[in-house]
């Protein structure tokens, strides 16, 4: 084989691999509109690092309205309105970084929306530094795909089933059983707020024993829950 043809063939293979990866990942994203992901990279990492994997997927009707409201109140108060990204929060976050400080939204969450968190947790990986920047382009793509095809209810349903809610504890049913020995559909407002309060760092901000952060944060989530109730878009996503 001529030497000049080897690099060309190599790049043809790379291009084909990228196309196959793109098409297969898109098909998988569409499939997850109806099927919960069998496993995620974050869950595999939890097993490998010794935290274990405690998980029990439940349907929308098996999740308390209190949990759905608490998640939006704490993590993404504009969830019902935006198309995947809170551009105002992202702009403020960038301004804060340029000023040498970290910006947090009034709700207590960073600029990442629930839709973005689903894209990252279901299809991609965790991590900071260079890994975080490498993740940005596919995170944008998957966020838009699920916004266009899943709908808000499905996004929130998957979010509450795959997000880590304690060391090795994934999803609201596993968290509810672990911390309060009841099904997710039976969680009170306070219990839902306590679990959601751990989300910024579930390995550090523990629900039981209750960390100082969770103790401080969950009453404020309950206040925001009270403020959000009554808005049509929010109420439609808590039924």
Q: Tell me how many degrees the CA angle 213-214-215 measures, rounded to the nearest 5.
A: 90
Instruction: Report the C-alpha gap between 238 and 224 in whole angstroms.
Output: 14
Q: What is the pLDDT of residue 44?
A: 95
Is the pLDDT confidence value at 87 over 80? no
Asked if 211 contacts 205 with a C-beta cutoff of 8 angstroms, the reply is yes
Please tell me the pTM assigned to this model: 0.86
pLDDT tens-digit map of 121-155: 999 877 666 667 677 889 999 999 999 999 999 99
151: left (phi over 0), alpha (psi -120 to 50) or beta: left
Q: Band the pLDDT of 107: cuts 50, 70, 90.
A: very low
Secondary structure class of 82 (helix, strand, coil): coil
Which pLDDT score is estimated for 4?
56
What dotted CATH number matches 37-236? 1.10.3810.10
Task: Give 25-69 pLDDT, tens digit per residue.
Answer: 999 999 999 999 999 999 999 999 999 999 999 999 999 999 999
Domain positions in the chain are 37-236
Distance of CA 7 to the CA centre of its chain: 40
Give yes or no for residue 168 having a pLDDT over 90.
yes
pLDDT at residue 90, rounded to an integer = 61
Write out the H or E segment, with its range, that includes residue 47: helix 41-48
pLDDT bin (cut points 50, 70, 90) of residue 8 is confident
């Amino acid at each position: 084989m001529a030497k000049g043809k080897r690099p060309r063939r190599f790049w043809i293979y790379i291009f084909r691999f990228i196309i196959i990866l793109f098409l297969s990942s898109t098909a998988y994203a569409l499939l997850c509109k109806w099927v919960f992901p069998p496993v995620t990279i974050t869950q595999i990492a939890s097993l490998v690092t010794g935290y274990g994997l405690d998980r029990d997927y439940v349907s929308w009707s098996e999740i308390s309205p209190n949990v759905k409201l608490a998640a939006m109140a704490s993590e993404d108060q504009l969830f019902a309105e935006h198309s995947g990204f809170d551009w105002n929060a992202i702009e403020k976050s960038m301004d804060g970084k340029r000023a040498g400080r970290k910006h947090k939204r009034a709700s207590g969450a960073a600029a990442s929306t629930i839709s973005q968190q689903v894209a990252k947790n279901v299809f991609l990986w965790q991590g900071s530094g260079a890994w975080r920047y490498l993740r940005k382009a596919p995170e944008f793509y998957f966020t838009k795909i699920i916004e266009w095809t899943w709908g808000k209810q499905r996004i929130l349903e998957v979010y509450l089933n795959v997000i880590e809610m304690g060391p090795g504890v994934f999803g609201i049913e596993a968290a509810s059983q672990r911390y309060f020995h009841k099904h997710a559909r039976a969680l009170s407002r306070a219990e839902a707020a306590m679990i959601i309060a751990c989300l910024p760092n579930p390995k550090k901000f523990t629900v039981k024993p209750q960390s100082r952060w969770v103790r401080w944060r969950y009453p404020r989530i309950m206040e925001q829950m009270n403020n959000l109730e009554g808005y049509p878009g929010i109420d439609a996503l808590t039924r």
